[in-house]
Amino acid sequence: MSTQSDIAATAAGWTGADQVEVLTFELNGELFALHAVAVQEIMDLAPETVVPGAGDFAGSVINFRGKVIPLADLRVAFALERGAPTIDSRIVVIEIELSGEPTLVGLRTDKVHEVTTLARADSEAPPSVGMRWRPEFIQCLVKRDGEFIVVPDLQTIFNQQQDARQPVASATRH
Amino acid sequence: MSQQDAIAVFQVEARETLEMIEQGLLDLMAAPGDRGLIDAVFRGLHTLKGSGAMFGFDALAAFTHHCETAFDRVRKGEVAATTDLVSAVLAARDHMRRLMEDPKGDHGAAGDILLVDLERAVRAADGAAGPADAPPAMTTWRIIFDLPENAFRNGSNPLALLAELRDLGEAQVVVDASQIPPLDMLDPTGCHLRWTVVLTTDQPRQAIEDVFIFVMDDMSLQIEAIETDAPKTPAAEASAGETSAPETPPASNAGAEAPPAPARDVAPPAAAVAEAPDGARTRTQESVRGPADRLDELMDRVGELVIAQSRLSQIASSGADPNLRTVSEEIERLSGELRDTMMVLRMVPVSTLFGRFRRLVHDLARETGKTIDLATDGETTEIDKTVIERLADPLVHLIRNAADHGLETAEDRVAAGKPATGRIALSAHQSGGEVVITIRDDGRGIDRDRVRAKAESQGLIEAGAVLSDHDLLQMIFHPGFSTAAAVTNLSGRGVGMDVVKRTIEALRGAIDIASRPGEGSEVSLRIPLTLAIIDGLLVRVGRGRYVIPLAAVEECLELSLDDDKRSRGRSFISLRNSLVPYLRLREMFETGTPPELHQKVVVVSTGTERIGLVVDQIIGDHQTVIKSMSKLHSGLPTFSGATILGDGGVALILDVGHLVAKGQHQEAQMREAI
């Protein structure tokens, strides 16, 4: 195993362990995985409230058990095509740290697959060239059954989006 | 629990103990002979010493030990609790607080001075006490004590207690093992023994009680004087069945059978023992300590419940099942009560706030050389905890202003025919959903001419402009405004009042000022009871629903199609001969929907400035439980928060202050364009 994949493996939560539990889900046909420990709940689509001026990545909020939480779309970060919701669409509620505060965030998914175990031995760091996606948004790629599962680096993605958030649209004047 | 947590808990408790000692001492000033108060203070000192040493606050423990020793003489009745002595202990208490908050600091020298003062006070008070408590030379006591079953687990050691008793004089110990259960039921870690000690000593009863001071609360203890100068073996042989101690010394039947308080002597200590746990119980009933964020969590849960309940009642009212409807109504009632109780839980009396100002006024009086009397009223009025915390700084500013600018010097006051002592009155009362806090002084009042001169020189108003008295007084809330000729340590830097105003407005409150020349000024703060719930006006813009805080809404009117067309190119409506700029929220929020035929304008204001907000529909009043937005959205200035509606949807709360500022900005641009 190369040193590079060791580093990637550590970043992916393999610290000391050879395996990690993840939840796999689909976005526009691509397979992604999230660390299962971060997942709070998988819920059906809920009525969304658009937040004007908040941008595409986290453009709306939902009611999650009496809390108002942002709904984020990883497809924006990975520049994937954003199709209409289907009967399989779900929201995965996760907890991540934003500016040092644990925050609940909903993630749109096209379909949730399963909770499964990924082996450290199968993981690879994202190639620095030849990728469609920004490599810093990816913790590692895990090869399984002939396809790659993308483990996104949520912390980096959210921090970036938070910094790059657009200011509220100014009033149109006539 | 980590060591750090344990220390934090100790500090919280120590703060309470110190508070209790301070209260006890202040009360003692008024009632110098009160045994109950003296004992309470002594216990406080003793607890502080013991727990301080346990958690490594050695300097605190050592210093407290000296105070305890000194105060012990008061407790024993050897010296009287004179005012000087109590003051010295009060000063020492402040030092203990410093030692507790900053254990690493170098406080040795200050502590030594305090101890010398204390020593002097004790010596001065010596002999002032009555001789009533002086014990007879030699007394024989019968002491019967019974430790609770968990005594060993709590770290009590009966052998050590017995050893201490033996140190006091000649003691004969009989153990009563009759309470030991059969072997198969015996809990070897429990304490099942009872002891009878016949002690002949020259020490007073207090010395014997002191032996048990750490275990007194849980145990039963009887101390009776058998005889003064009595024979050494006073009572009959105990029956063998009841006393099974190997060395079977003489013990009385009465002792072994432990009759309930046979002699009159027994009554006071028995009563004292009964009182102590009682007192402890009342205290725990008074308050439960817990982190404030748990309350917030609970509040969230209640919010969820209320929302789930409103969905349930929607379902119940659309169905035909009367049972379901009954249950739904019951749950509606319960969840409403639960929410009200929750709100009450977050409330704290303003006395917690007012209490801090006594010291402030005391210090201000010293700094300004004025004599100032602080009167407080309505301290039991309750406000949400978070509001209270944010009120402290503005009130400090206002009290400083009153003391520094408002009140005259004693000579000036006498010359003006007023009492020499200035008076600052703080009062609080509830009116509707608001709490009104007023700060009143009987000083010289606000000098209108100086305010006007200052405002003109700063270009806030034009020279000779006609202003209402109210508007003129409002000038003092402008940033950078100060009429004080000289900048003093206390106030006059012009950063006070505008900060006060902004803080109060951030709490969704209002500030008002009234002043009569020569008679004084009065500042009133109107603060909403809670930040957690506001009254809102629910409106619809495109497909989204938004809440406008009702307190900011001035009026609602229709934007007719004609008005709409006419206003193209200049977003103003005329409202009773004044032009009000407005914002089309539909365009601002880029809803992408066509405008309704009958759009509405909600006119909102922040005091003096106002703008109209064009919405598609006004839905109605809404009790708004405010939820904060996540970090992803908290930077958006248009919204101050969000709330959950009865149908489970989310509505965003508009930040009126921001929108008004935006409207004003737009107005300014329009003027330039014209």
Mutation for B interface: A41, A43, A49, most B CBs within 10 A: A49
Chain B interface includes A62 (CB < 8 A): yes
pLDDT digits (tens, 9 = 90+) for B174-189: 888 877 888 887 877 7
Mean pLDDT along residues A24-40: 91
Chain B interface includes A61 (CB < 8 A): yes
* pLDDT exceeds 50 at position A169: no
User: Distance between CA B652 and CA B622 in Å, rounded?
Assistant: 12
Chain A interface includes B583 (CB < 8 A): yes
Angle in degrees, 0-180, between the axes of helices B322-345 and B292-318, rounded to the nearest 10: 160
Instruction: Give the DSSP letter string of B89-112.
Output: HHHHHHHHHHHHH-TTS--HHHHH
Residue type, B379: E
Eight-class DSSP state of B203: S
CATH 3.40.50.2000 fits B533-673, yes or no: no
- Given this model, what pLDDT does residue B488 score? 44
Share of chain A above pLDDT 90, in %: 26
Please state the φ and ψ torsions of residue B30, each to the nearest 5 degrees.
-80, -35
Mean pLDDT along residues B127-151: 65
User: Distance between CA A39 and CA B321 in Å, rounded?
Assistant: 38
Host H or E run for residue B614? strand B609-615
The beta strands (E) that lie in B315-368 are given as 347-349
Q: Which residues of A touch B546 (CB under 8 A)?
A: none
pLDDT digits (tens, 9 = 90+) for B55-88: 778 888 888 888 888 888 888 777 887 777 877 8
Chain A interface includes B671 (CB < 8 A): no
User: Distance between CA B12 and CA B26 in Å, rounded?
Assistant: 21
pLDDT digits (tens, 9 = 90+) for B497-545: 777 887 887 777 778 888 888 888 899 898 877 666 677 899 999 889 9
* pLDDT exceeds 70 at position B633: yes
Q: What is the chain B residue with the closest CA to A62? A: B650
Please state the φ and ψ torsions of residue B411, each to the nearest 5 degrees.
-65, -45
Tokens for B431, please give them.
């009116």
CA angle centred on B351, ends B296 and B473, rounded to 5°: 95
* pLDDT exceeds 80 at position B45: yes
Host H or E run for residue B553? strand B553-559
User: Which CATH architecture fits A3-163?
Assistant: Beta Barrel (2.40)
What top-level class would CATH report for the domain B293-346? mainly alpha
The more confidently predicted of residues B155 and B96 is B96
* pLDDT exceeds 80 at position A2: no
Chain B interface includes A1 (CB < 8 A): no
Number of Cα atoms under 13 Å in the Cβ half of residue B114: 22
- Given this model, what pLDDT does residue A95 score? 93
Among partner residues B568, B636, B650, which is closest to A68 by beta-carbon distance? B650
- The domain ranges of chain B are 3-125, 139-279, 293-346, 349-528, 533-673
3-class state of residue B419 by DSSP: coil
Give the number of residues written for chain A: 174
User: Distance between CA B438 and CA B395 in Å, rounded?
Assistant: 10
- Given this model, what pLDDT does residue B549 score? 86
Q: Which of residues 631-650 of B touch A (CB under 8 A)?
A: 631-633, 635-639, 642-644, 647-650
Query: How many Å lie between the alpha carbon of A10 and the closest alpha carbon of chain B?
Result: 27
Chain B interface includes A173 (CB < 8 A): yes
* pLDDT exceeds 50 at position B255: no
User: Distance between CA B486 and CA B388 in Å, rounded?
Assistant: 32
Among partner residues B568, B588, B669, which is closest to A174 by beta-carbon distance? B568
Q: What is the chain A residue with the closest CA to B646? A: A66
- Given this model, what pLDDT does residue A3 score? 45
pLDDT digits (tens, 9 = 90+) for B190-205: 888 888 888 888 777 7
B290 Cβ contact partners less than 8 Å away, ≥ 6 residues apart:
none
Chain B interface includes A44 (CB < 8 A): no
pLDDT digits (tens, 9 = 90+) for A84-124: 888 999 999 999 988 778 899 999 999 999 998 888 788 88
Q: Which of B368-377, B482-491, B612-621, B657-666 has the lowest mean pLDDT?
A: B482-491
* pLDDT exceeds 50 at position B473: yes
Instruction: Give the DSSP letter string of A45-81.
Output: ----EE-TTS-STT-EEEEETTEEEEEE-HHHHTT--
Q: Which residues of B touch A96 (CB under 8 A)?
A: none
Number of Cα atoms under 13 Å in the Cβ half of residue B579: 12
3-class state of residue A39 by DSSP: strand
Q: Which of residues 16-35 of B touch A (CB under 8 A)?
A: none
User: Which CATH architecture fits B3-125?
Assistant: Up-down Bundle (1.20)
- Given this model, what pLDDT does residue B608 score? 63
User: Distance between CA A159 and CA A165 in Å, rounded?
Assistant: 10
Which of B649, B652, B645 lies closest to B629 in space, CA to CA? Answer: B652
Among partner residues A51, A104, A158, which is closest to B633 by beta-carbon distance? A51
ipTM: 0.82
Chain B interface includes A17 (CB < 8 A): no
pLDDT digits (tens, 9 = 90+) for A116-168: 888 878 888 877 766 677 778 888 888 888 888 999 988 888 888 766 544 33
Chain B interface includes A45 (CB < 8 A): no
| Contact by Cβ (8 Å): B528, B504 | no
* pLDDT exceeds 80 at position B663: no
Q: What is the chain A residue with the closest CA to B645? A: A63
Q: Which of B317-331, B458-472, B486-500, B559-573 has the lowest mean pLDDT?
A: B486-500
Mean pLDDT along residues B606-633: 82
| CA–CA distances in Å: residue A48 to residues A90, A91, B507 | 13, 11, 29
User: Distance between CA B669 and CA B93 in Å, rounded?
Assistant: 62
Q: Which of A4-13, A54-63, B259-268 has the lowest mean pLDDT?
A: B259-268
What top-level class would CATH report for the domain B349-528? alpha beta
Mean pLDDT along residues B419-448: 86
pLDDT digits (tens, 9 = 90+) for B640-652: 889 888 777 899 9
- Would you call B636 and A63 a contact, using CB atoms and an 8 Å cutoff? no
Chain A interface includes B584 (CB < 8 A): yes
Query: How many Å lie between the alpha carbon of A107 and the closest alpha carbon of chain B?
Result: 13
Q: Which of residues 92-121 of A touch B (CB under 8 A)?
A: 98-99, 101, 103-105
Number of Cα atoms under 13 Å in the Cβ half of residue A32: 25
Which of B257, B171, B160 lies closest to B213 in space, CA to CA? Answer: B160
Q: Which residues of B touch A49 (CB under 8 A)?
A: 544-545, 642, 649-652
Work out the mean pLDDT of chain B and round it to a whole number. 76
| Contact by Cβ (8 Å): B86, B25 | yes
B673 Cβ contact partners less than 8 Å away, ≥ 6 residues apart:
none
- Would you call A70 and B630 a contact, using CB atoms and an 8 Å cutoff? yes
Chain B interface includes A66 (CB < 8 A): yes
Among partner residues B544, B636, B637, which is closest to A50 by beta-carbon distance? B544
Residue type, B592: G
Residue type, B331: I
Confidence of residue B2 (pLDDT cuts 50, 70, 90): low
| CA–CA distances in Å: residue B609 to residues A95, B215, B290, B581 | 42, 67, 43, 10
Share of chain B above pLDDT 70, in %: 81
pLDDT digits (tens, 9 = 90+) for B272-309: 444 444 444 444 456 676 777 787 788 778 777 877 77
The more confidently predicted of residues B441 and B28 is B441
User: Distance between CA B459 and CA B336 in Å, rounded?
Assistant: 53
Q: Which residues of B touch A166 (CB under 8 A)?
A: none
* pLDDT exceeds 70 at position B432: no
Which of B373, B379, B388 lies closest to B428 in space, CA to CA? Answer: B379
Mutation for B interface: A43, A60, A68, most B CBs within 10 A: A68
The more confidently predicted of residues B446 and B265 is B446
Mean pLDDT along residues B118-125: 80
Share of chain B above pLDDT 90, in %: 5
* pLDDT exceeds 90 at position A69: yes
Tally C-beta pairs within 8 A across A and B. Answer: 108
Q: Which of B81-90, B580-589, B647-656 has the lowest mean pLDDT?
A: B81-90
- Given this model, what pLDDT does residue B437 score? 92
Confidence of residue A13 (pLDDT cuts 50, 70, 90): low
Decide: residue B293, CB within 10 A, 0-12 exposed, 13-18 middle, 19+ buried.
Answer: exposed
Query: How many Å lie between the alpha carbon of A95 and the closest alpha carbon of chain B?
Result: 12
Chain A interface includes B296 (CB < 8 A): no
The beta strands (E) that lie in A7-154 are given as 19-27, 30-35, 39-44, 49-50, 60-64, 67-72, 90-98, 101-109, 111-119, 123-124, 138-144, 147-152
Beta bridge partners of A74: none
Cα–chain center distance at A45: 17
Chain A interface includes B325 (CB < 8 A): no
Dihedral of alpha carbons B108, B109, B110, B114, sign: positive
Query: How many Å lie between the alpha carbon of A86 and the closest alpha carbon of chain B?
Result: 21
Mutation for A interface: B630, B634, B647, most A CBs within 10 A: B630
